[in-house]
Structure 1
Amino acid sequence: MIDRGGKGLLLGGHNEFLEYAQLYYGVTSSMTTQMMMVIAQENLETHIGKELEKEALSDLINPLQVWITSASSPASYSLIPILISGEVFGKNTEISLTLFDQPKVENYLKVMVMETQDMASQILLRTSYCTKIEEAFRQAQVIIMLDENTEKEVTSLEDCLRSKVSLCRLYAYHIEKNAQESVRVIVGGKNFVNLKTILLMQFAPTIAHNIVAVAMGVEGQARAMVARKLKTTSSCIKDVIIWGNISGNNYVDLRKARVYGYDSAIWGPPNYSRPVLSLLFDREWIQKEFVMTLKNMTATGKLFGGILAAHSITTTLKYWYHGSPPGEIVSLGVLSEGQFGIPEGIVFSMPVKFENGTWMVLTDLENIEISGKIMNNLTSDLFQEKLVALGNNIIFQPYRSGNVFRYFTSLSYYEEH
């Protein structure tokens, strides 16, 4: 065997080699066959070593495969620049971005691909689009599910719920079939977020542990309202907890919320903070304006603006990959395993922290117990959504519990102070 330009050739004996060498190179050799075989073996080993080196280098520069569903939605325009900035996955992590949507918006996706390429991001290795469901999520490592675009007229709440089943079953099948085993799926937006997350888990059980729902949009709205009331910035408000249905019946819990750098008579170092409820003296505002404004903003179908949706998704992804700030509480929609007395089998927003590439429910938090009456109010609609969507119930029947606040305001705190 001889090696020429990285190609090998197997020959029979010494005479055959000499004839080939004379015809191909125009030269003859008196080298023995044994010596030629030694050289051929060395050439082969060198060639194999070079190929292995190429494969290793290829693995090093293999980009992170990121897919966005419903990519023609307005949120994508705010989402894409953040994803390719290096702030989410890291400045040294190259990514390949694929925009997935329906065939009817193909021309729109082409324009989005060109605009994304025009940004000349240093970490964006490839940008493409996909409109064929059978090709969806090929080698995906991160899948961002945005609210789907639909022009179909919704005749009833029940029809809308049932429509999520076919969508999630289709997506789940191709995720399990085409995506990488370690794929992370993050469901964002305001369109039955908890329901879509639990359906994906049910139809794609092999990756269920890596599917989450984003709750930071609701958290951001609550923090901003509190900040405006206290005349500070929303970044100074931390540890607001969102319980329950992200795009429906939920509670905004201020019992652990704290404000940092607050301009008052009491000052401290940068890490000094004060409980939010110790500074909110307007009980009527909490019970009425705060509750009703958030209720209206978080209702299903009331879309987040593109900026807030993109920020909440990318911040959650950043924490998932690099960890959340130490000691900070983050709200996340995850599958309940009975924590805090929450029934199993539903996706429920609850307090977590991100660490070492995963998330952990903060079951060790003190004084955040939820009464049975409030828990029923939180979980009933989630079970109803699931039962109606899967056809076990025909009609959606909202939970009625009398005069129950939809948001935690820690009334016991005011009674004590």
Structure 2
Amino acid sequence: MAKFVLAGKADCPNYAKAEHLSDSLQRNLPNFQIHKICQHPKDWQQWLEATCKDNGWNHDRSPIVWRELIDRGGKGLLLGGLNEFLDHIQGYYGITSDMTDELMMKVAAENLDIKEQCMKDEVHCQSLIKPLHIWISSSLSPTCYHLIPLLLEPGMFRDSPKIHLHLLDVEGDSEALQGLRMEAEDMALPLLHKVTVHTSLEDAFHKAHLIITLDDLMSEEAGREQNMAKTAERFRKYGQLIDGRAQKEVRVIVAGNSFINLKCSVLLENAPSLMYNRFVALATQPVMEATAHIAQKLNVKSADVRNVILWGNVGGTCHIDLQKAKVFHYEGAVQGPPGFSQAVLEIIHDRIWLETDFLDLLSTHRAKLLAKTKRTAALSAASGIVAVLRAWNFGSAPGEILSLGVLSTGQFGIPAGLVFSLPVSFQHGAWVVPHDIFIDDHLKIKLQAAAFQLQAEKDSIKIQ
């Protein structure tokens, strides 16, 4: 079978003549196939140069014709332009074209009209798609690589909308971002509408429905105060841009490994037109780590331990609270039907372990992980983001408690105006703080220490 590819400018008379001849051959010869590529004049030169570069050809005019060697598994064989195509057809089939110049010009004009109408129709169809705009900052971080396919899974958002993914990495490697874009597109996920990359704040957060910040601006050479000031400056810019460009119902998830509460606080201060409950700081990482150690202690899976609470400054002065924690599938003296659970504090009687070894394990967990993998946690970080987002979209499961840094309004004696990690659940698309939490004197001291540190961080960046 002879399969040819004919490509050319829509307004090219020579392309019209080659097209007319090839259509006639295809109608009359059972073993002749033609695939036509009609490019708009403004797109032609770029397309031609890219095609020739990919195939190692040298051709600079319209049309271009090549033969697909489909029966031999080889790459296309370049024939050339109109004259070479006519010679080839004359030599093989003894057929030539008698198309007049007048008809060639008429068909070329018709081709251009049809092409432009098709382009208008495509633009119109695209305008009917209302994608969900998701922005991820610091997109070159390992967490983003794991996060992208999870965000594009069916069922992650209500009604499974098409997703326009915006990958932002300020002053990042543009080639690496383009590579990430290519990988995302290569997955061919049905919900992915488009991927765009950004290395500056010029268009940042435009039309955003969801923003996930992964930025960590820590430098080993700089001191804590310098790192804090650099982080605050970046997030001031983010907050101002989010306030002016994002959708009013935008949701913002602040993740990362440093100054998470502070980042969220700075965003809130610089986005005054947005509701405070649209912003959360992620505390799932330390909660997951604590949950894993509790599970090991009880000889169950990590998924069997739930509702561990983290109070305070994520990554700073914080406190793990087990008053609501429960364990499923624990093989002890008391067992029950499927869904039966027991309070963790009723099973772990070793209070010394909780106050010593457990805290030591938590304090060294990330350092051990970093030493083994040579990078910060990424899989669990992405999983935590998705867990929070799923609860935000569909509501928390009955009895489920998450820990998130949210703006305090004075709950539990915590000073209002601080972004503080609290126990929350999601109802009807908004987070709420449960009221059945017991605050004893010991916990009150822990909360005061965390509040003092958070207030000091806020005061520090104001002075600078």
Shorter-normalised TM range: 0.7 to 0.9
Secondary structure of 2:356's match? helix
Aligned ranges 1:24-39 → 2 under 5 Å: none
What is the Cα deviation at residue 149 of structure 1? 5.2
- TM-score norm. by structure 1 comes to 0.76
Q: Residue type of the partner of 1:187?
A: V
In structure 1, the partner of 2:396 is 324
Asked whether the 8 Å contact 2:277–2:431 carries over to 1, the reply is no
Aligned ranges 1:11-50 → 2 under 5 Å: none
What is the Cα deviation at residue 178 of structure 1? 1.6
In structure 1, the partner of 2:451 is 379
Find the aligned partners of 1:221 and 1:298 in 2 and give their Cα distance. 9
**1:193 is aligned to 2:264:** no
Aligned ranges 1:3-402 → 2 under 5 Å: 61-90=129-158, 92-148=160-216, 154-207=221-274, 208-297=276-365, 304-362=376-434, 364-369=435-440, 371=442, 372-391=444-463
Find the aligned partners of 2:221 and 2:430 in 1 and give their Cα distance. 37
Secondary structure of 1:163's match? helix
Q: Residue type of the partner of 1:202?
A: E
What is the Cα deviation at residue 112 of structure 1? 0.2
Find the aligned partners of 2:285 and 2:155 in 1 and give their Cα distance. 18
Secondary structure of 1:135's match? coil
* Alpha carbons of structure 1 residues 370 and 72: separation in structure 2 relative to 1, 3 Å: farther
What is the Cα deviation at residue 93 of structure 1? 2.2
Q: Residue type of the partner of 2:445?
A: K
What is the Cα deviation at residue 265 of structure 1? 3.0
Find the aligned partners of 2:365 and 2:160 in 1 and give their Cα distance. 37
Secondary structure of 1:315's match? helix
What is the Cα deviation at residue 338 of structure 1? 0.4
Over the aligned positions, Cα root-mean-square deviation in angstroms equals 2.2
Asked whether the 8 Å contact 1:241–1:331 carries over to 2, the reply is yes
Asked whether the 8 Å contact 2:243–2:270 carries over to 1, the reply is no
* Alpha carbons of structure 1 residues 281 and 153: separation in structure 2 relative to 1, 3 Å: closer
Find the aligned partners of 1:280 and 1:271 in 2 and give their Cα distance. 20
Find the aligned partners of 1:136 and 1:278 in 2 and give their Cα distance. 50
Find the aligned partners of 1:298 and 1:386 in 2 and give their Cα distance. 25
Find the aligned partners of 1:241 and 1:368 in 2 and give their Cα distance. 13
What is the Cα deviation at residue 295 of structure 1? 2.6
Secondary structure of 1:93's match? coil
What is the Cα deviation at residue 103 of structure 1? 3.6
Larger relative contact order, structure 1 or 2 (CA cutoff 8 Å, min sep 6): 1
Asked whether the 8 Å contact 1:73–1:149 carries over to 2, the reply is no
Deviations 1:307-361 (Å, cap 9, x if unpaired)?
0110111111111111111111111110010001111121001111101111101
Q: Residue type of the partner of 1:215?
A: A
Secondary structure of 1:133's match? coil
Secondary structure of 2:173's match? helix
What is the Cα deviation at residue 231 of structure 1? 0.5
Find the aligned partners of 2:251 and 2:348 in 1 and give their Cα distance. 39
Secondary structure of 1:213's match? strand
Find the aligned partners of 1:162 and 1:293 in 2 and give their Cα distance. 30
- TM-score norm. by structure 2 comes to 0.68
Deviations 1:244-267 (Å, cap 9, x if unpaired)?
011111100011111012222322
* Alpha carbons of structure 1 residues 278 and 209: separation in structure 2 relative to 1, 3 Å: closer
Find the aligned partners of 2:366 and 2:448 in 1 and give their Cα distance. 19
Find the aligned partners of 2:152 and 2:329 in 1 and give their Cα distance. 32
What is the Cα deviation at residue 268 of structure 1? 1.1
Find the aligned partners of 2:170 and 2:399 in 1 and give their Cα distance. 42
Find the aligned partners of 1:314 and 1:243 in 2 and give their Cα distance. 21
Q: Mind listing any 5+ residue stretches in structure 2 that lack a counterpart?
A: 1-120
Secondary structure of 1:332's match? strand
Asked whether the 8 Å contact 2:254–2:264 carries over to 1, the reply is yes
Find the aligned partners of 1:209 and 1:85 in 2 and give their Cα distance. 25
For this pair of structures, how many residues does the alignment match?
A: 335
Secondary structure of 1:352's match? strand
Asked whether the 8 Å contact 1:162–1:390 carries over to 2, the reply is no
Find the aligned partners of 2:329 and 2:159 in 1 and give their Cα distance. 30
Secondary structure of 2:212's match? strand
Find the aligned partners of 2:331 and 2:260 in 1 and give their Cα distance. 37
Q: Residue type of the partner of 1:230?
A: L
Q: Residue type of the partner of 1:173?
A: Q
What is the Cα deviation at residue 158 of structure 1? 1.1
Percent identity at matched positions? 38
Q: Residue type of the partner of 1:295?
A: S
Q: Residue type of the partner of 1:113?
A: R
What is the Cα deviation at residue 87 of structure 1? 4.4
Q: Mind listing any 5+ residue stretches in structure 1 that lack a counterpart?
A: 1-50, 393-417
Deviations 1:90-125 (Å, cap 9, x if unpaired)?
572221111001244110000000000111111111
Asked whether the 8 Å contact 2:138–2:168 carries over to 1, the reply is yes
